[in-house]
Amino acid sequence: MPSPTNNHLLVQIHELLARHFNEDEFRELCFRLSVTYDDLEGNSLRAKKIGLVTLTDRENRLHKLRKECVEMRPNVTWPPVPEQGAASDLPHLQAQVEPGQPTNLQPETKRPSLLTTLRQLPTWAWGGGLLGLVTLVLLLRLTSDGFGSSRTPTPTQARSVVVTNITPPPNAQQGDRWTRPSDGMVLVYVPGGTFLMGSDPAQDSEADSDEFPQHEVTLSPYWLDRTEVTNAMYAGCVATGICAASSYADDNDFNGAAYPVVGVSWNDADTYCTWAGGQLPTEAQWEFAARGDDGLFYPWGNQWDGTLANFCDTNCTYDWHDPDVNDGYALTAPVGSYTPGGDSWIGAADMAGNVWEWVDDWYGAYANTSQTDPSGTESGDYKVLRGGSWGPLPHYLRAAYRGSAQPTNHGLNFGFRCVLPPGS
């Protein structure tokens, strides 16, 4: 049973979250902690905040939650948290947050998982009804992510839909550009090369531990989308019935034709790139295109310049915004708005800021040896996101920074770009 002191700590943190984080800010906090907002218990924002506190405590990550809260709300006094967190249970927290409520209830109920439902079936159902159950499971997997929710095409399904005759010009050189016929995207040529992937803490004081160890990577040449995929381009795939509509397709704050598509999951991004005739870039391909063999901190150099990227500037409504810089936009910006000053060494735009970009790799530890054309770990729970977005501060826009989220997450600042191998 948790101690009253520990439960008081959890209640304090929840009350501060409730008082100082709106929904968009709380979603950003969840993203920083690699927690999928939609997977938290409950339907209300209040319930999900309780869910996040109890989840991070249960996983001994309460100190990490506090660290991110301090960074996002530096003017709030956050209670100290022991490194291993505090043992807790949700009913006790619920009783203190909402006095008078039954202590044996969750703040919100969540539909039972398929596994829970199957476990509750009587013994006789496992006999003659087994075939029917298998059929039902297969149908559910093909049509939904659960019971009734829409499902985006899986990578396996999408790879059966390939646009033919996607052949970039041969013998390309750095500086060459080519327009992909399937969607009108302009691509830039990235020559093969060797670079140091990740960060050296002796060189970059802001480096995070998952950027270690810095290691040598050699890549073959490839073509990269010059910008993030736009709403207009993505709509072309939706019109064919292959791509699912983005979560913000009807939101005038995000659905401008020349603006980057957002509210797309990794599955959506993978489906689109396959339809267009390419694939998502690997994490190594993305980082090399952003910083080159010079190992730049940002696409344009080693010094931060808030006029060259879309980040949380004076227009941004978050408390941590930078009031001294005006990048021109409160939310997303039309792709290429900071060209040419903000472009990377190969002419790719918006590699820092605007929207987080899905890459192909599962999130995992870096190798400690040199690699050639690496594709990351074979499996995992989270997919990598790169580049930062309009919502965070410069630390998250560094070329080496690694974000992550579950592949089914449709973040309001999640977008992507594609790659093509030469001669594909």
- Asked whether residue 283 falls in the same domain as residue 226, the answer is yes
Structural domain contains residue 104: no
What is the distance, to the nearest Å, from the Cα of residue 288 to the centroid of all Cα atoms in its chain? 19
Write the CB contacts of 333 (distance below 8 Å, at least 6 apart in sequence): 259, 310, 327, 350, 354, 390
- Asked whether residue 141 falls in the same domain as residue 235, the answer is no
- Asked whether residue 68 falls in the same domain as residue 210, the answer is no
Comparing 14-23, 200-209, 307-316, 375-384, which segment has the lowest mean pLDDT?
A: 14-23
**How far, in Å, CA of 350 to CA of 139, rounded?**
40
Q: What percent of the chain has pLDDT over 90?
A: 60
Residue 403 burial (10 A CB sphere; 0-12, 13-18, 19+): buried
**How far, in Å, CA of 407 to CA of 152, rounded?**
11
Quote the pLDDT of residue 423: 64
Structural domain contains residue 106: no
Could you list the residue range(s) of the whole structural domain that residue 125 is in?
114-146
- Asked whether residue 413 falls in the same domain as residue 271, the answer is yes
- Asked whether residue 140 falls in the same domain as residue 163, the answer is no
DSSP H or E run through 236: helix 231-239
Structural domain contains residue 347: yes
- Asked whether residue 77 falls in the same domain as residue 121, the answer is no
- Asked whether residue 173 falls in the same domain as residue 308, the answer is yes
Tens digits of residue pLDDT in 270-282: 999 999 999 999 9
Residue 317 has phi, psi (to 5 degrees) of: -90, -5
Tens digits of residue pLDDT in 313-331: 999 988 889 999 999 999 9
- Asked whether residue 123 falls in the same domain as residue 77, the answer is no
**277 dihedral zone (left: phi>0; alpha: psi -120 to 50; beta):** left
Structural domain contains residue 103: no
User: Higher-confidence residue: 23 or 196?
Assistant: 196
Question: Residue 357 gets which letter from DSSP?
Answer: E
**Number of neighbouring beta carbons within 10 Å of residue 352:** 30
- Asked whether residue 139 falls in the same domain as residue 162, the answer is no
Structural domain contains residue 298: yes
Write the CB contacts of 187 (distance below 8 Å, at least 6 apart in sequence): 168, 177, 178, 179, 180, 223, 224, 225, 226, 420
Q: Does residue 215 contact residue 367 with C-beta atoms inside 8 Å? A: yes
Quote the pLDDT of residue 398: 97
- Asked whether residue 356 falls in the same domain as residue 240, the answer is yes
Structural domain contains residue 272: yes
Q: What total of structural domains would you count in the chain? A: 3
- Asked whether residue 119 falls in the same domain as residue 219, the answer is no
Structural domain contains residue 379: yes
User: Higher-confidence residue: 180 or 101?
Assistant: 180
Indicate if the pLDDT at residue 163 is higher than 70: no
**How far, in Å, CA of 142 to CA of 68, rounded?**
37
* Neighbouring-strand partners of residue 414: 356
Structural domain contains residue 192: yes
**How far, in Å, CA of 66 to CA of 52, rounded?**
12
- Asked whether residue 316 falls in the same domain as residue 413, the answer is yes
Q: In CATH, what number is assigned to the domain containing residue 376?
A: 3.90.1580.10
Please spell the DSSP secondary structure of 25-56, one letter per residue.
Answer: HHHHHHHHTT--GGGSSSSSHHHHHHHHHHHH
Q: Does residue 357 contact residue 286 with C-beta atoms inside 8 Å? A: yes
Enter the pTM of the model.
0.68
